[in-house]
Amino acid sequence: MSRKLLFIINPKAGKKLGPSLLPLIEQKLKGKLDYEVSLWSNINEFNLISEKLFKEKFTDAIAVGGDGTVNIVAKTILGSNLKLGIIPAGSGNGLARSLGLPMNTSKALDKILEGKTHVIDSGTVNGNPFFCTSGVGFDAHIGNLFATSVKRGLKSYVKIIWKEFSSYKPKTYLLKYDNVTVEKTAFLITVGNAGQYGNDFYIAPGAKMNDGLFHVSVLKPFKFRQMFGLLIKVLNKKADKSKLIDTFTCKELTIKRNEKDVIHFDGEPAMSDETVVFKMNPMSLKAITGEKFRDA
């Protein structure tokens, strides 16, 4: 079956990549693959793009943007025969990195042209699909603040973390998974389908995207002086070796907390009830991958 690609571009990503994006797509793909380009700026426009994807029998949905754009495109084609491709243009690019794709636009297009594909798992948190990480606590709190920040990028993200770190208080959670019920006081709890948040910050380095399991990391309360040692482990893919982090695997997890609060899914924040339910959806998304993709 011949391939037919729809490039779905977040206009903000288009500005970041510059005016060379569309000519580069034409240069790489013209005469080789059938393709079209669609831009969207709000969810109503995206609904029309979603209809187009299925009615006009595209085979590949290529998300051009950050993790938010990628999440929207991926959940639209979840469980279908369409393949997800990514041209990363965000702050963290968590899914693109986890799929082993290059951060360079031209090289990412080469991988799309090659079309090497794996089927990967996904998860849901209170019904919201996610593909890399989800969770509660400090990272969800930061994601919520970052979503309303005028300035984007890693520098802005780090500034928000630095500002909020000293005032954030760990919270107590009741965790239920398999036949276990346990209460934990935690700075954050991350449920990983993939190992990283983005920017190669590996909170769950043991995670694989097609093993049918969540890799859960519970970060205990810690002192400021311990932060730098923890950061080194996260950057060196050794977070699971830290004494500050408890880890376990499961297919479903329920977290109960004392009040409504923020959750995040692939960095996107949302307010949620006291009870947060995570469910694994094995082998549910076809995705174009690079050489560095970590197979189960």
Note the residue count of the chain: 296
Burial letters for 193-212: b for 16+ Cβ neighbours within 10 Å, e otherwise?
bbbbbbbbbbbbbbbbbbbe
List, for residues 60-91, the tens digit of each pLDDT value: 999 998 888 999 999 999 999 999 999 998 87
Give yes or no on whether 4-121 and 128-282 have one common fold.
no
- Could you tell me the pTM of the whole model? 0.91
pLDDT the model gives residue 149: 65
List, for residues 213-223, the tens digit of each pLDDT value: 999 999 999 98
Residues 6+ apart with CB under 8 A from 150: none
CATH number for region 128-282: 2.60.200.40
Tens place of pLDDT per residue across the chain (296 aa) = 799 999 999 877 655 676 678 899 999 999 999 999 998 877 778 889 999 999 999 999 999 988 889 999 999 999 999 999 999 988 789 999 999 999 999 999 999 999 999 999 999 999 999 999 999 998 888 777 776 665 666 677 677 777 777 788 999 999 999 999 999 999 999 999 999 988 899 999 999 999 999 999 999 999 888 888 988 999 999 999 999 999 999 999 999 999 999 999 998 899 999 999 999 999 999 999 998 887 65
Cα–Cα–Cα angle for 289, 65, 194, rounded to 5 degrees: 45
CB 266 within 8 A of CB 70: yes
Show the 3-state SS of the chain: CCCEEEEEECHHHHHHHCCCHHHHHHHHHCCCCEEEEEECCCHHHHHHHHHHHHHCCCCEEEEEECHHHHHHHHHHHCCCCCEEEEEECCCCCHHHHHCCCCCCHHHHHHHHHHCCEEEEEEEEECCEEECCEEEEEHHHHHHHHHHCCCCCHHHHHHHHHHHHHCCCCCEEEEEEECCEEEEEEECEEEEECCCECCCCCECCCCCCCCCCCEEEEEECCCCHHHHHHHHHHHHCCCHHHCCCEEEEEECEEEEECCCCEEEEECCEEEEECCEEEEEEEEEEEEEECCCCCCCC
Pick the CATH number of 4-121 from 3.40.1170.60, 3.30.413.10, 3.40.50.10330, 1.20.810.10: 3.40.50.10330
Domain residues of the chain, as ranges?
Answer: 4-121, 128-282
60-65 and 4-9: which strand pairing?
parallel
